[in-house]
Amino acid sequence: MSAKDTYFMEIAVDLALKARKEGDEPFGALLVHKDQVVKTSENQVHTLSDPTAHAELKLIREYCNENRIEDLSEYTLYTSCEPCAMCSGAMVWSKLGRLVYGVSHDALAKIAGDNIMIGCEELFEKSPHSPDVKGGVLKSMAIKVFDDYTFGGH
């Protein structure tokens, strides 16, 4: 586990805690380009009343739109949990270069009680584009975000 990945994952976990405090689901993500954070994002499903406002999809959508780019192959996305199928799809369509996550999809499903049971790597394998994936970074820290949390929206 590189020091860089640990450093950026700490930020993702902080963003997840921020989302939780604001009444949204506890997920955070950030986009990194050449070792610089270019944008951060947190889940805002309830704040925005938008079931698609997961941290990762919102990050990709807003960053691409604001910067008029459709190709993230030079970027790394850090997210506190393995992305769901919707967000993994957004990573395919934006040609994301690298994905780093904390808590795995299966570990999250045990906590959340339900999920779309297709892991990101299975989805990427069946796709025309796949980012490099590194999972489990700071997972012990990242999973604490869910302590005493009850899922509402999903």
Q: Which range touches a copy of itself (CB under 8 A), out of 30-38, 73-81, 110-118, 134-142?
A: 110-118
Catalytic position from the list 56, 62, 66, 121 = 56
Residues 74-93 that bind a copy of itself (CB under 8 A): 84-90, 92-93
Q: Look at residue 40 and give its three-state secondary structure.
A: strand
Amino acid at 58: K
Question: Does residue 128 interact with a copy of itself by CB under 8 A?
Answer: yes
Question: Does residue 60 interact with a copy of itself by CB under 8 A?
Answer: yes
Phi, psi of 15 (to 5 degrees): -65, -35
Q: How far is the CB of 91 from a copy of itself (least distance, A)?
A: 9
Question: Does residue 46 interact with a copy of itself by CB under 8 A?
Answer: yes
> Are 18 and 42 in contact, with CB atoms under 8 Å apart?
yes
Question: Does residue 50 interact with a copy of itself by CB under 8 A?
Answer: yes
Q: Which range touches a copy of itself (CB under 8 A), out of 8-16, 34-42, 73-81, 125-133?
A: 125-133
- Known catalytic residue at 10: no
**DSSP state letters, 125-143:** HTSS---EEE--TTHHHHH
From the number of C-beta atoms within 10 Å of its C-beta (0-12, 13-18, 19+), residue 140 rates as exposed
